[in-house]
Structure 1
Amino acid sequence: MSHGFDLDSRLRKREDRDLRRHLEVAESVGARTRFGEDPKGEATEFGEETVVFAANNYLGLADDGRVQRAAELGARTVGTGAGASRLVTGDTRAHRALERDLAACKRSERALVFSSGYAANVGTIDALAPDAVFSDELNHASIIDGCRVGAGETVVYDHCDPEDLRAKLEARAAGAGTDESWLVVTDSVFSMDGDVAPLAALCDVCEEAGAWLMVDEAHATGVFDGGGGVVQREGLSDRVDIQLGTLSKALASQGGYVAGDEALIEYLLNAARSFVFSTGLAPPAAAAAREALRIARETDRTDRLWTTVERLREGFEAMGYEVLGETHILPVLVGDRADALALDEELREHGVVAPAIRPPTVPEGTSRIRVAPMATHTDADVERCLDAFERAGEEVGVL
């Protein structure tokens, strides 16, 4: 009798369901690069250069010289690693400078940087330990896991539906004590559909019910309103209790953050286990994120991104594709799982990397290609992408 784990069998089951994933090695991070198949323990062999429309590096700053120099300076002046939890000896001037700038950008009293956005979500929900969390049905996995760890009970409300949230809050109020703590959690930009949560309406519902609202701006930070997010674009900084996001997407670094009032941050730095028991964010990452945030706030980089987004959206729709959402994430709807996977492969044959997204990540019948433009994509890159989608779509039979 064996009490171990049959991992080969588990992998075969994923293979049978078209759910097995494979690593691909990128030669560099940027709008164009070469990829190689997973070499396991061997050296990588790269193929031809491709145009990358698959990264969350929305402002194209991951290979920007200014950000690279900031990271280098952080390493030279502070160190390559924090060396300990920030509550021990790992709290550095690089962390504090980034947190001051984040707080100013998010128009909050204070910010706290975590080692990842995942750690920020799980640590925050666990530390607050709400009696009930009301979570949008399409929230990110890190929010879902935070609810599993920290919530007394999780109530899922219909996607981007303030009225369904109101009904579920009222039902809870009818059967619960008056001293319960309630937390409503939503992404602002949803990464698979490219849509935006109705934050003003959610604020109204939360204020009526006496619940706190937590908004994850992972895919919005740096892209909207002078480097802020949707919360800032909508003028809701003083109505959202907890603003959370990542440094690893538009800000081209690593880590996550929480922004809010002084009491919230003081409590989290004492009670969030993913902060207390983790080594502080590496100083070069903090320095790089701070410089990326400065560029997002002070230059036209975001305008360049939105210009590229509109050109692509108009081009796809002119071909006959349906493009979901309203943001810088462009989900090109295909429908059938096999067609989406075939289109993904054919796009690669034409030198464009854009991933197929299929169930269970999205509902059956809504498989899609997720296109993520960067501000650094050139006119030639955009034309190459559009041409690839037209030719590949005809070859696969979806156009």
Structure 2
Amino acid sequence: MSGTDDDAGVDGGTSGHGFDVARRVTEIREADLYRDLQPADAVDSAAYFAPDPGGDLPVLSGERELVFASNNYLGLTQDERVQRAVAEAAETVGTGAGASRLVTGDTLLHRDLEARLAETKRTERALAFSSGYAANVGTIAALDPDVVFSDALNHASIVDACRLSNAEVVVYGHCDADDLRAKMAACDRPGSWLVVTDTVFSMDGTVAPLAELCNAADRHDAWVMVDEAHATGLYDDGGGIVQREGLSDRVDVQLGTLSKALASQGGYVAGSDALVELLVNDARSFVFSTGLTPTAAAAAGEALHIARHGAVRSRLWENVTHLREGLTDVGYDVHGDTQILPVMVGDREEALALADAVRDRGVLAPAIRPPTVPEGTSRIRVVPMATHDRVDIEDCILAFKEAGEDVGVL
């Protein structure tokens, strides 16, 4: 009978078998862990934002803010060449793939993108997925390793992929090749072993010691799999850390996303012909997903071409150097070895206050706090783009200087 007390638990009451989602949201708020969405008018180096409207339509603010928090590292989402490639793809091929790649969703645009990725990553083949998350989960499941050795700060998609696998998961210290060697030596489980790491870690801006990790893996004939999400497009010939370090022939699985420097959406895996054939047939997140949209494939392909043959990479690294030096000069402790510049604050409340004060001065760079990072290591994750000009960088430095003095962290 509907409408009785017996139904209370269905929509969050105290009885029955439902879920009290309102209570859980309240607990998140009380723990100061609540996050909200902030709609923007554009994905660019500056944008107008709106406060989270919930289910209503957003109302944009009247002030345009400089964005120093995006993963759009090369600023190519607004590049006319990328936009033109998308428009042409939509007109000639269509806006969506319409089916799994194994049914009717495989197009020439997918094949062109994969050929460009394979050439850039210096592998036999590449395969595009609907997201980087799907690429990680699908690849690890398809490989079906007996043991996975995973960096302590690997991305959530790698962590979840390990959880979903049947593998024994051994976590080694962050970027600690000595700890990896010790844990591999102590492992007595037979079968296939996989070492998995991000190459650029998104919250710390640190770089994995790939050559040392490969050396450790070689001792046990283990495979090495890397996630180049925050490196693809930014290094040698548009490649990632693997290419910068000259390790294309030693890393068995090169994975990454199309949604950061390549200004699109989706993920990819690059490796041997046999690896790609296995994934086409056995990676469930590929087999049972509608193919990457043709427009996304076209955008990523054009962005990769620009990254390889244009000047955007050098402009990004010039901005990184300028911003790092400026923030350091005004008194901040700036970590990281890449385009990701964590401005360390430590205290959660001070980091939130600093982010608010910086935003009051027209610069968007949100605070990163626990549980995303460990207690006592709250920071502002500052990231320039290739499309920021010198004045933008100077305005960002000035905003941090004034905000830091007001909040009391300088």
Fold conserved between structures, TM > 0.5: yes
How far apart are 1:286 and its partner, in Å? 0.1
- 1:191 pairs with 2:206: no
Superposition RMSD in Å: 0.7
1: CA distance, partners of 2:352 / 2:339: 22
1:366 aligns with 2:377: yes
Q: Report the secondary structure of 2:47's partner residue.
A: strand
Q: Report the AA paired with residue 351 of structure 1.
A: G
Residue equivalent to 2:325: 314
Q: Distance in 1 between matches of 2:117 and 2:389?
A: 29
**Counterparts of 2:54 and 2:176, CA distance in 1:** 45
- Cα distance, 1:244 vs. partner? 0.2
Query: Residue 293 of structure 2 aligns with which residue?
Result: 282
Aligned to 2:143: 128
Provide Cα deviations, 1:254-277, integer angstroms capped at 9, x if missing partner: 000000000000000000000000
Number of equivalenced pairs? 395
Aligned equivalents of 1:319 and 1:2: distance in 2?
58
Supply the AA of the counterpart residue of 2:267: G
In 2: Cα distance, 1:334 partner to 1:370 partner: 11
- The match for 2:349 is 338
Structure 1 residue 2 corresponds to structure 2 residue 20 = no
> In the alignment, which of 215, 218, 224 is matched to residue 226 of structure 2?
215
**1:286-316 C-alpha deviation (Å, 9 max, x unpaired):** 0000000000000110000000000000011
The reply to whether residue 79 of structure 1 matches residue 94 of structure 2 is yes
Q: Is the 8 A contact 1:125 1:151 kept in 2?
A: no
Q: Which amino acid aligns with 2:287?
A: V
TM-score, normalised relative to structure 1: 0.98
Task: Pick the aligned partner of 1:53 from 38, 57, 68.
Answer: 68
* SS of residue in 2 equivalent to 1:79: coil
Aligned residue for 1:226, secondary structure, equals helix
User: Which residue is equivalent to 2:3?
Assistant: none
Whether 2:56 is the aligned partner of 1:42: answer: yes
Per the TM alignment, residue 142 of structure 1 is displaced from its structure 2 partner at its CA by 0.2
Deviations 1:7-46 (A, max 9, x none): 1111111111211110101011100110001222333211
Q: TM-score normalized by structure 2?
A: 0.95
Please list every run of 5 or more consecutive structure 1 residues that lacks an aligned counterpart in the other structure.
none
Q: Write the distance in 2 (CA, Å) between the matches of 1:382 and 1:27.
A: 22
Q: Can you give the 5+ residue segments of structure 2 that lack an aligned partner in the other structure?
A: 1-14
Residue number in structure 2 paired with 1:108:
123
Alignment match of 1:118 (pick from 133, 139, 145): 133
| Deviations 1:310-349 (CA, angstroms, capped at 9, x unpaired) | 0000011111111111100000000100000001111110
Q: Residues of 2 paired with 1:22 and 1:358: CA distance?
A: 14
Which residue number in structure 2 is paired with residue 69 of structure 1? Answer: 84
1:142 to 154, 157, 173: 157
Which residue pairs with 2:239 in the alignment? Answer: 228
The secondary structure found in structure 2 opposite 1:389 is: helix
Report the secondary structure of 2:197's partner residue. Answer: strand
Whether 2:44 is the aligned partner of 1:30: answer yes
**Residue aligning to 1:300:** 311
Partner secondary structure for residue 331 of structure 1: strand
Matched residue, 2:103 = 88
Q: Which residue matches 2:35?
A: 21
Could you tell me which residue of structure 2 aligns to residue 245 of structure 1?
Answer: 256
Report the counterpart of residue 12 of structure 1 in structure 2: 26
CA distance in 2 between counterparts of 1:118 and 1:88 reads: 22
Mapped to 1, the partners of 2:165 and 2:131 lie a distance apart of 18
For 1:96-151, what per-residue CA distance to the aligned partner results, in whole angstroms no more than 9, with x for missing partners? 00000000000000000000000000000011111110000000000001101124
Residue identity opposite 2:45 in structure 1:
A
Equivalent residue for 2:337? 326
What SS does the aligned partner of 1:10 have? helix
Identity %: 65
Q: Work out whether residues 115 and 255 of structure 1, in 8 Å CA contact, stay in contact via their aligned partners in 2.
A: yes
Q: Which runs of 4+ in 1 moved over 6 A?
A: none
Match of 1:176 in 2: 189
Measure, in 2, the Cα distance between the counterparts of 1:103 and 1:82: 21
Q: CA deviation at 1:153?
A: 1.1
Following TM superposition, by how much is the alpha carbon of 1:388 offset from its aligned partner in structure 2, in angstroms? 0.4
User: Who is 2:284 aligned against?
Assistant: 273
Deviation at 1:87, TM superposition (A): 0.3
**Residue 153 (structure 1) aligned with residue 168 (structure 2):** yes
From 175, 180, 184, the equivalent of 1:165 is 180
Once residues 246 and 99 of structure 2 are traced to their aligned partners in structure 1, the CA distance between those partners, rounded to angstroms, is: 37
Q: 1: CA distance between counterparts of 2:17 and 2:38?
A: 33
